[in-house]
Structure formats: C-alpha cells, structure tokens
Amino acid sequence: MIKLRMIKQSLVCSLMVAFFSLCFQGAILAQPELPKDPNWLVDGEISQHVPGWNEGFIKCKPPYGGYNELTEHQKILNSWGYKARPIEEIKNLLPEPHYDIMSHPEIWGTFRVNETAWEPVKPRGPMWERFMAQTKKNIGTCYLDKKGWLRNYRYGIPFPELKEDDPQIALKLVWNYFKRYKDNDRLVPMDITTRDRAGYERHNLMLNHRLQMNGRVRPDEVTEEGLYKPNPKNLDFIYATPYVAPYNLRGTIPLYYRYDDPDKEDDMWIYIPSMRRVRRMSTAQHQDRLPGGLDWTWDNTEGFEGHVTRFNWTYLGRKELLIPVIGHSHTYYNPKAPLDANDQYYQRRNCYVIKATYKEPINMKEMILYLDPLLYNACYSVDTDLKGRTWIVQSMLEARNKNWFAGFYNGWAFDVQRRHATRALFAYHGSVDFRVENLAMDNLKKVYLAR
Amino acid sequence: MRMKRKSILWLIAVFLGFMSFVGIASQAEAFVFMDGDLKINGYIENQTAIRMEDQARDRGNDSGELSRCRTTMVLEAGLDLSESVKFNTILRGYYDAAWDLDSGIIQKPKEEKWDSAPNGIGMKEEFEVREYHFRKYWGNAVVKVGQQQIVWGESDLLRMSDIINPLDISHRIFLEDFENIRIPVRAIDFTYEFPGPKRFTVELVAIPEDFRTTRIASPGANWDPLAYRLPLTLSDPFLRAMEKDLNRIEDLGVENFQGGIRLKALFGEWDTSAFFFHKRAENAVAVSDEAVLNGMLPYIGPLVEAGAFSTIATLFEQNVDNIVDFEWPWTQTVGATFNVPEHYTGSIIRFESSFTFDQPFTVDYHISGMVDMLDDLLDYSYPQKVEFRLPDVDYRASDVLAFMIGFDRPTFIKFLNPKQTFFISGQLFQKYILDADDNWQTGLGKDGYDDHQVLATLIMSTEYLDGSITPQVAMMYDFTAESGLFWPKVTYIFNDQLHLEIGAVWIFADSGLSGDLGPFEKNDEAYVKLRYQF
C-alpha cells in the first residue's frame, strides 16, 4: 500500500516537473535573463535616434512568414561580456581581431555573446530538406572549370564533400559560401551608419533588393530546378539599392549585375536625381571603398562579394568558434558606441578558414573568411591592408526565418586602424518574390519616387 | 567700405545662424504624412560669393563686391495617389540680399525689379512652382504629364542631346546642378519598354504649347553676358525688344508644338539611343528692319555733323525694338548616343552626337561699311565701349554637326589618396557649322565668327576623412576660342543635414566675344555655399 502510494507520489511529482519544465522551459533551464545595457535600443526604439527609422519604407517587420519561434527564443547556455562572464574566457573561440573589439567596450561599446546549443536550432523544414537533397545530387555533378568557375550548378551546396588535401578546397569553399542556403530574393530596408572616432554619425537609409538567378530553393513560376527562367543575359544575381535618405542622396538608385561568366565584368548603372538620368559606372576598381565613407569595399560587403577569379585562394584549416549563425531577428543599436547586435545568440561551430589573396592588390591584400561547416555563412571576416596589417574587421549576424533562410538584422565593419565604424541596421529581411522586371531601373524609379 | 563691413557681418550672421542648426540638425528628417504616401523634403541654402575682378569694361560691379548672397528654399513633395499613379512637385523661393547689402554694385536689378531675360523670373527674389507632374504606370509603360524636366544624353557641363528644356543661366551660368537651372516645361512624356533582353525602349515627348528660351541675367547683374557688348542703357532696351518679340511667339499657343522621339536599346554591352526632336531655337537670332534703318539715316547725318552723339544714343535706345527684330526659328535635330565599358582601361566610354538641320545664326549687315560705320558711331555715342554688330535683314541657317566623346574612370592615385579612388571624367566636344561664312555671328572662336569649336573638359573628385571632405576640380578649355574655366571646390559634410561648400571660379578668355565662356569672363568669384537639408 505504502509502495503504491510512493509510486503514485513519484508519478505525480514527475508529471508536475514535466509540466513545469514544458511550461517554463526558458525560465527554468536557461540562465536567468541578464540585464541589458540601457543604451541598447531594439527595433522600433531605434527611431528615437535615427530619423526615418521604422517609418515609410524602413519599417521594422518580422522576417518573411513571421518569426521562427525556435530560433527567436533559444536556451542560453552561457553568456560572456556585458553583465556576464569575462570575455577573456572565450578568447580562443573568436578570431583575434573580433576578440580585441569585444574586449574593449570602452572603445567599441558593450556587447554580450550568448552561447546556445546547435542541435535544437539547426536548420530543418521542407525547404532545407529540398536544399540538402539537391546538395547530395551535386556530388560529382558540380565542378570547377579551368578558370575556377562553378559549372553545372542549379541549387544546393555545390561541394558538400570536401577533402583537406584537395588543392582546390579553398576555392570550393568560397563557392559553397556564394551558393549558401538563402531565399530566392530579398528586400532589406536598412540604415547604413558611419561613425568616426569622435562619435559623429551619418545615416543612409536605403533598401537593398537582390534577386538570385540560380540557387533558388523555393519553387515558384519562374524557377525551374533552381534556375530563374528566362535568363538570357546569363546573370548570376542582380541587386539594386535605392536611397531614401538623406535628401541629397534620396532617389539615387544603384543597379548592379553580376554575370555567371568568369570573363565578364560586372555592370553597374546609377540613376542620379540631380542629373535626372542614368549614368553607367565603371566597376573596374573593386578595391575602392564605397562612397560616403563606408568601411566596405566593393569586394568585401557581407564578408565577401568579389569575383572569385581575381584572387588566389588558400585553405587555412578548421577552427572552433562561437559564431552568430542562427540568431534572433531583432535589430540592435547603441547610439553611444559602434557595436551593434549587442545581445545575439552564438553557436559553437568548427569553422572552415580560407584566405583570399588579391592577384593584383591595390588597396587591400587579403581577406580571411570564417565559414560555418554546414551553412557556409561568413559571420566573421578580417581584411588586411597592403602591408598585411589588420584593417577591416567584419561581422554579419544571421537570423533565421521559418524556413531557416538567412536574414540579416545587424552587421558591422570596423576600420580598426582608424577606429572608424560602419554598421548596418536592417529593419526587415525577406523575400517579396521579386522578378527581373521589379529590379529594372524604371520600376525602381516608380517605387521610390525618384524625380 | 561700410557696406563691405556690413556684408562681412551678414556673412558671419548667416554662418552662425546655420551653425546653430547643427545642434538640432541630427534630429531633422523628411516630413512624412498619410502613412508614408506623402513625403516632403527639401533644403535651405545660402550662397554667398565675392567678385574677384571688375565687371567687363568696368560696367559697375567691382572686385571685392558681392556677387550674390542668395538664400534659397526648396520644397519637394512626392505623393503616391495609388500604386500606379504618383504626383511630384518642386517649389522654390529665393532672396538675393546682394543688392540690399552692397550698395556698391549696380542697383538697377533691384530698383527696377528686373527679371532674368527674356521673360524670366526675379533676379532679387522670386517664388515659383518649378515642377508639378503626374506619373502613371502600366506594365512596361509610363506617362508623365505636367511641368517637368526631360533629360536625354550622356554629356556633362555642355549639352547636345539634352535639348528639351532650355537653361536659366542668369544666376550662375552652368555652374549649378543642371536640375536647378533647367527651365521646366509643360510636357507629356510617354515611355514604353518592350520586353526582352535588349530593352528596346521608345519615348515620345510632346510640348504642346509651352515655348521657353534660354534665360540670361538682367542687365547690370553679375553674370550678365551682355556686359561686355552693351552698356546698361542699351542692353535693357535691347532685351525689352527681345521680350516684345518673344511675347508674340508665346501667344501662338499650340502653333508652338514641339516634340520628338527617342529610341533606346542595349546591344551587348552597348547602351545606345537615337533621337529626333523638333523645336524652336532656344537662343534668338536678330534681324534688322531695313525700312526703319533707311528711315533713320537722314536724321543721323546732321546729328553727326552737329556732334550730338548723346542724341544719337537716345535715338538708338528708343528705336532698338524698331531697328532689330528677334526670331526663334524652327530646327530639327537628330542624334545618337552610346555608352560602353572599355575593359582594358576599366573606363566607361560615353558618346553623344547631334546633327541639327537649319540651325539659325545672326549675320552681320550685308553692307560691311554700314556695320563699321555704326560701330564707330556707337563708340562716339557712348562713353563706354559698345560691341554691337548690326544684324542683317535676314538670318542664315546652316546644318550643324556636334559630337562628344568622353570617359569616366575611378583611379587610384595613391600618393594623393591612399584609400579611395579619384573619379576622373574627361570629355572632348567638337562642333562644326557646315555652311558658315565669315560674317556669321556663330559665337565660336576668339572673335565669335569661327565655324567650328573644339573644347575639352576634365573633372576629378575624391573623398577624404571618410567621405566628410570631397574636393573636386573641374576644368574646361576651348581650343578654338582659347578660353577656359578652372573651378576647384571642396565640400565638407558636417552631418546628414548640413553641408558646406567652398570654391572659386576663374574664367579666362581673349575677350567677351570668345566662345561660350568669353561673355562671362569678367565674373571670377570665390564663394561659400551652406545647405541645410531635411
């Protein structure tokens, strides 16, 4: 009788524990929520400091299809940085220049790295399964031609099987990076902010439009087995970035074509409102900094955006790092200091490290990319000047929508030599089912009220 | 001296006033209404310039005096009426305090309330609705209706294909952004792009009744192109005579219909276009009324013998509109443009050409002795030199071929700027008047009588201090006229709202008759431009 009673009590107790565990999973198992720096502004709060933010074209929104509940509320295993454990503990889990930045909050601002487990949040769902199924088919199908250009590719990761002794491993990795898991297109309303050593900031509100002509995972009426049809110009991707503010740039619309051809240079046109006409621009100087004092060059936006044939590629090995590869979809901004994405989720991943060395260096010598071993995102990159000194240090922080497609809500690029910063605040990141016609100059002029 | 001190104080006050904005500037933004469907942007700007040399033939505006102190406010509104219908308007008002601040400069434009000419807007102050137009989109088509600017072509600084809107060069010749000095016209602009990779596009432009001409500064103002040729007492009646004839043309209404077509296509890497445009000449040609001249001659002889030259001058001033008539004949222009990347040099090559049928020109009176006699007579009649060439009883017309080839190239010049390229843009222009004679007032060459022009431009700019400082230098040299322009400037960006530009313009020419730049030769200036935008 007593035994039965004990069994009943144990059962009730177990059920209660299970019930409370399920109901208050975050509260019980995660670390107690750590205090935020009052300077960290999130989403709509940023409009207090950034004119034009969260209104008109630059409205804060959840990712395409709504928030991914799994990735939005992750169980934090450990935190380092602001009001948490000392950042020194994870020195070996960060690239050295990134560690230097994070360990100097008096210069770059307060910051916290929140480690979460990979397994509970790793990619899944029908789009991911479709992508991975194609990835398997790519084994032995995709190849690099004599010029190192990717051939016979539709979608998926082109080279999922990599051997460290393969002389082309670095080149294959950069192609895996380019063809990483992402949606067919994207619209990203954003504020690109520059900040100098004295704390003076300038803001550029713009909308990044991008259309992939291959690597299209999500089926739609213009996609045939991962390829956009028709594609008579043999384009790889198109992007356009109309400016909304400030006034002198409002209505300026750069339009950029990258061709799926190793011998064909990119094309760029800009509609310039003060001229009232479209001006064709030379794309010859990829190592030039972007105008307006940004800390990106044409080649290193989002980590790397260059033409693979202009570089020699070196494989530097593997390194376990904490990377923000599956984060939440909220924008952070600190008006007092340059670092953004101040309270993101990080996962421990055994990253590939590759180096791109310019064949003809003019302004920059090398770029080092740290790639996730499955998603191939470059959450970290480090670029060096002509003397080999660390120059531009970047981080792109990846959120995930319900399909686990990548989305940006924050990113930064710091010129560590001059303590000059560029940060990107993204109000939204997601598909709007663009077609080629949507990215035609006349259509962009129509939408963005250019003169 | 007192006025100069006052000017400097005014400058300081304006500057401090703007600087006081800096504190609140970072909070300024566009005004957004109706959930973002209506946006209002704009700017307030002050341009203050000091002359660096005396006006041509010492007409009255001297070195060290104010060239302008012009405060401009521009409001630009964009309204989304629906997904496919948009409305835009640009309002502009300005006040040039130069005449109020500096009593040393010629006061006539203020006292007489002279406008730019012909039929222009106020030199001292004005408010205008510059542009207002609706746009409607259907698939690949767009139509734009209203007062607007329509821009064709590939060239900077000088225009060949950009011929739809005339320019208002009264304020600062062509040294402003063209969008601020093009004269908007009431027009219908229809564009259709055919689906396909070659992006075949057809554009039809109709200007049903709105004829506008090039506008120049009023007599006595800075940048007055007639200052070299005519004294104030003569240039004013001269322009009034022109306006009288222009009124007659403007009253013709739909008989002034102007229009054209442009075809565009992309062939491989070649962005090409071809166009045709039918319009009235935007610069007047002058003709003499022979009957009036013959009627006056019997009176002039005795006056000359009596030495009554001031009476002759008065007689001439009172009868300019009888002696000289102005016309804006019809012209037809065809042309072609292209741009293409040139991979070896990493440049963009731009090309623009035009062939104008029957471009009209004023020619000297057919009896050269008569021209010389009148020239001498005017010299005697006016204490200040007059450079007036009596026009013939009819104008002449010739076909004119013009073309431009240019390049744009971002280029690293590491010892000048280690981290950022220089944007270098060069252009070579050539113009040939195919049937010109020696007595045609072509405005080309050293004396304004050549039949061709060779001219080059070079613009270089870069960024320093993370885009805060943007120096630029623009140069122009007219090989035929041996005249040129040198225009360095530096822009400093305080923040997103407040920009400061400091620059100077030097123009050199053999005389006020030399090519396009000669008439503006004696207007060198140093300037400060401060803009607050929102």
pLDDT digits (tens, 9 = 90+) for A318-338: 999 999 999 999 999 999 999
> For A127-141, B80-94, B302-316, which range has the lowest pLDDT when averaged over its residues?
B302-316
Question: Looking at CA atoms only, how far is residue B151 from chain A in angstroms?
Answer: 6
Note whether A246 contacts B533, CB cutoff 8 Å: yes
Q: What is the ipTM of this complex?
A: 0.88
Report yes or no: A435 at the B interface, CB cutoff 8 Å. no
The whole-number average pLDDT for the span B337-357 is 96
Q: Measured between beta carbons, which residues in chain A are less than 8 angstroms from residue B42?
A: 247
Question: Looking at CA atoms only, how far is residue B273 from chain A in angstroms?
Answer: 13
pLDDT at A450: 67
Tell which residue, A394, A346, A415, has the closest CA to residue A90: A346
Q: Which residue in the set A273, A282, A289 is minimally distant from B346, CB to CB?
A: A282
- Dump pLDDT digits (tens) for B428-477: 999 999 999 999 999 999 999 999 999 999 999 999 999 999 999 999 99
The whole-number average pLDDT for the span A30-42 is 83
Note whether B499 contacts A248, CB cutoff 8 Å: yes
| Residue ranges of A 216-235 with Cβ closer than 8 A to chain B | 232-233
The whole-number average pLDDT for the span A64-68 is 91
> For A200-204, A312-316, B378-382, which range has the lowest pLDDT when averaged over its residues?
B378-382
The larger pLDDT score, comparing residue A18 to residue A403, is at: A403
The CA radius of gyration of chain B, in Å to the nearest whole number, is: 25
pLDDT at B115: 94
Looking only at the bridges linking them, the beta strands covering A366-371 and A343-358 are antiparallel
Q: Which amino acid is at B307?
A: G
The whole-number average pLDDT for the span B61-66 is 96
Q: Quick check: B22 pLDDT over 70?
A: no
Helix, strand, coil percentages for chain B (3-state, nearest 5): 20, 45, 35
Confidence of residue B304 (pLDDT cuts 50, 70, 90): confident
The whole-number average pLDDT for the span A424-449 is 91
pLDDT at A21: 45
Q: Is B38 exposed, middle or buried (0-12, 13-18, 19+ CB in 10 A)?
A: middle
pLDDT at B25: 42
- Dump pLDDT digits (tens) for A381-390: 999 999 999 9
pLDDT at A46: 96
Q: Quick check: A8 pLDDT over 80?
A: no
Report yes or no: A56 at the B interface, CB cutoff 8 Å. yes
| Percent of chain B scoring above 70 in pLDDT | 94
> For A106-110, B11-15, B273-277, B518-522, which range has the lowest pLDDT when averaged over its residues?
B11-15
Q: Measured between beta carbons, which residues in chain A are less than 8 angstroms from residue B534?
A: 247
Note whether B421 contacts A55, CB cutoff 8 Å: no
Q: CA-CA-CA-CA torsion for B267, B272, B274, B279, nearest 10 degrees? A: 160
Note whether A291 contacts B467, CB cutoff 8 Å: yes
Q: Quick check: A12 pLDDT over 60?
A: no
Dihedrals φ, ψ of B261, to 5°? Answer: -140, 145
pTM for the full predicted model: 0.89
Tell which residue, B207, B212, B156, B158, has the closest CA to residue B186: B207
Helix, strand, coil percentages for chain A (3-state, nearest 5): 20, 35, 45
Beta bridge partners of B166: none
Confidence of residue A26 (pLDDT cuts 50, 70, 90): very low
pLDDT at B516: 93
Q: Quick check: B151 pLDDT over 90?
A: yes
| Residue ranges of B 2-41 with Cβ closer than 8 A to chain A | 26-30, 32, 36, 39, 41
pLDDT at B157: 85
Q: What whole-number distance in Å separates Cα of residue A159 and Cα of residue B393?
A: 82
Note whether A285 contacts B411, CB cutoff 8 Å: yes
The larger pLDDT score, comparing residue A291 to residue A189, is at: A189
- Dump pLDDT digits (tens) for A160-171: 999 999 999 999
Q: What whole-number distance in Å separates Cα of residue A59 and Cα of residue A428?
A: 7
- Dump pLDDT digits (tens) for B404-414: 999 999 999 99
pLDDT at A178: 97
Tell which residue, A426, A447, A430, has the closest CA to residue A185: A430
For residue B193, what is the nearest residue in chain A, using CA coordinates? A442
Question: Looking at CA atoms only, how far is residue A51 from chain B in angstroms?
Answer: 6
pLDDT at A9: 65
CA distances from A13 to A7, A194, A405 (A): 10, 57, 41
Confidence of residue B218 (pLDDT cuts 50, 70, 90): very high
Q: Quick check: A38 pLDDT over 80?
A: yes
Q: Quick check: A248 pLDDT over 70?
A: yes
Report yes or no: B266 at the A interface, CB cutoff 8 Å. no
Q: Measured between beta carbons, which residues in chain B are less than 8 angstroms from residue A247?
A: 30, 41-43, 533-534
Note whether B419 contacts A56, CB cutoff 8 Å: no
Q: Measured between beta carbons, which residues in chain A are less than 8 angstroms from residue B149?
A: 276, 451
| Residue ranges of B 327-366 with Cβ closer than 8 A to chain A | 339, 341, 343, 345-348, 350
Report yes or no: B88 at the A interface, CB cutoff 8 Å. yes
| Percent of chain A scoring above 90 in pLDDT | 85
Note whether B409 contacts A282, CB cutoff 8 Å: yes
Tokens of B412: 């690293």
The whole-number average pLDDT for the span A198-209 is 94
Half-sphere exposure of A224 (CA within 13 A, CB side): 3
Note whether A293 contacts B153, CB cutoff 8 Å: no
Q: Which residue in the set B140, B197, B495 is minimally distant from A233, CB to CB?
A: B197
Confidence of residue B510 (pLDDT cuts 50, 70, 90): very high
Q: Quick check: A342 pLDDT over 90?
A: yes
